[in-house]
Amino acid sequence: MIPIAKPLIGKEEIEEVEKVLKSGFIAQGPKVAEFEEAFASYVGTEHAIAVSSGTTALHLALLAAGVGAGDEVITTPFSFAATGNCALYVGARPVFVDIDPKTYNINPELIKGAITEKTKAILPVHLYGQPAQMDSINTIAEEHDLVVIEDAAQAHGAMFQDKKVGSLGDMGCFSFYPTKNMTTSEGGMITTNNPEMADKARILRAHGEKERYQHEILGYNFRMTDIAASIGLVQLKKLDGFNQKRIENAEYLTEHIKVLNGIKPPYVSPEVRHVFHQYTIRVEDGKRKDIMEYLNQEGIGTGIHYPIPIYKQKLYQDLGYHDKCPETEKAASEVLSLPVHPALSIEELEKIVISLEAGSENI
């Protein structure tokens, strides 16, 4: 089976974990601080705050930005549920805006119409590893005095124009889940150039403590361990190589499947460096299920990212959401992700192409 994703853990990561285990510093300690400094330098921000997951990064970023009860957060419905849920965590209301059908990212032209007096933040997602249109989003935010928090969980190392994601808004949030472009097993990171937001996020992740046993605000235990950070430090050094391999794999797939009827390869905006966390095609004419089953029978892993818009999840239906985002719903019915991870061999890439060609012709 060619898996849809595969974390690449080598002997270097294992050796660094062993060193941490022998050191006695296995919770948050010097390795976390070292990882934060290295990640901030890589992204191009003054601050990076390591946390326990990408979801907790989003949660704390909203709190650090002062988003709370009664506020509204404009975001996309075409993402993992955490993108919307993080607003609910802080008592705010996610407001969903439809996507650009080419990039699958939030459509900036629709954001202005969703702004109300309650709007506090815009939360764009760099879906599949392709940056959102951050110049337009930032211009809108500046006009309306809104905070911009990037959901960069799938976009480590991606670039909009000449800047890396995570440095484009007020804050950026990353996930280091095993299937991401780099991993710490579990973990997340907040990046920012705003010292006040950084300080608040640091306090919030550690029970509201600024000093030991002095709890100034209600906080959480959202810390990263030195074990995770030691993996992250090694993975960060490998990230550009991982991403380059993903890009090359994506280019190979696109070159060979762009001629197939009923199959649309992913679009890449000329302004961005797309790092292909997912390689996601569109399967038209209602054939997705059949092609997915055919590929699985041929030993090729696939995924649907994402089959249900966030506002159609039961949680949101119970909250009274009745949104209609036609481009999101169309994409949800057609998208299909193929393997693109850096462990793929040329023989595996060829097999994916041949199988997809056979499936598209015979179904």
pLDDT digits (tens, 9 = 90+) for 36-72: 999 999 999 999 999 999 999 999 999 999 999 999 9
pLDDT digits 0-9 by tens, 242-261: 999 999 999 999 999 999 99
Of the given ranges (84-88, 187-191, 284-288, 316-320), which has the lowest mean pLDDT?
284-288
Check residue 73 and give its pLDDT.
98
Instruction: Round to whole Å and give the CA distance between 30 and 70.
Output: 39
* Nearest to 159, CA basis, from 322, 16, 267, 44: 44
Nearest to 277 by CA among 174, 145, 137: 174
Q: Where are the alpha helices (DSSP H) in 44-81?
A: 54-64
Q: Cα–Cα distance between 311 and 321 in angstroms, integer?
A: 6
Give me the torsion for CA of 316, 317, 320, 326, rounded to 10°: 90
Beta strands in the chain (DSSP E): 47-51, 72-75, 93-96, 119-123, 147-151, 159-160, 163-164, 171-175, 188-192, 209-211, 214-215, 263-264, 272-273, 279-283, 335-338
Which of 1, 3, 7 has its CA nearest to residue 187? 7
Query: β-pairing, 263-264 with 171-175?
Result: unpaired
Peptide bond preceding 306 in cis form (omega within 30 of 0)? yes
What type of residue is 126?
A: H
**Whole-number pLDDT of residue 210:** 87
Phi, psi of 171 (to 5 degrees): -145, 155
| Average pLDDT value for residue range 287-293 | 97
> Residue 361: which pLDDT band, with cuts at 50, 70 and 90?
confident
pLDDT, tens digit, for every residue of 204-216?
A: 999 999 888 999 9
Residue 354: count other Cβ atoms within 10 Å of its Cβ: 12
When pLDDT is averaged across residues 292-303 and rounded to a whole number, the result is 98
Residues 6+ apart with CB under 8 A from 36: 47, 48, 49, 50, 189
- The whole-number pLDDT of residue 280 equals 98
Residue 174 has pLDDT above 90, yes or no: yes
Structure tokens at 107: 């459509």
Q: List C-alpha distances in Å: 199 to 47, 51, 89, 257, 295.
A: 9, 13, 20, 48, 48
pLDDT at position 74, please? 98
- Of 70, 83, 105, 126, the closest CA to residue 273 belongs to 126
* Mean pLDDT across 106-132: 98
DSSP labels, 281-316: EEE-TT-HHHHHHHHHHTTB--B-S-SS-GGGSHHH
Query: 272: left (phi > 0), else alpha (psi -120 to 50), else beta?
Result: beta
> Is 337's pLDDT higher than 80?
yes
State residue 362's pLDDT score: 81
User: What are the structural domains of the chain?
Assistant: 11-234 (3.40.640.10), 239-362 (3.90.1150.10)
| pLDDT of the residue at 98 | 98
CA torsion 297→338→127→322, rounded to 10°? -30
**Quick count: other Cβ atoms within 10 Å of Cβ 226?**
26
Report the percentage of the chain scoring pLDDT > 70.
100
248 Cβ contact list (under 8 Å, min separation 6): none
**What are the distances in angstroms from CA 161 to CA 171, 266, 270?**
18, 19, 9
Indicate if the pLDDT at residue 363 is higher than 80: no
Q: How far is 283 from 58, CA to CA, in rounded Å?
A: 32
> In this predicted model, what pLDDT tens digit does every residue of 7-40 receive, in sequence order?
999 999 999 999 999 998 899 999 999 999 999 9
Task: Write the Ramachandran bin of 212: left for phi over 0, alpha for psi from -120 to 50, otherwise beta.
Answer: beta
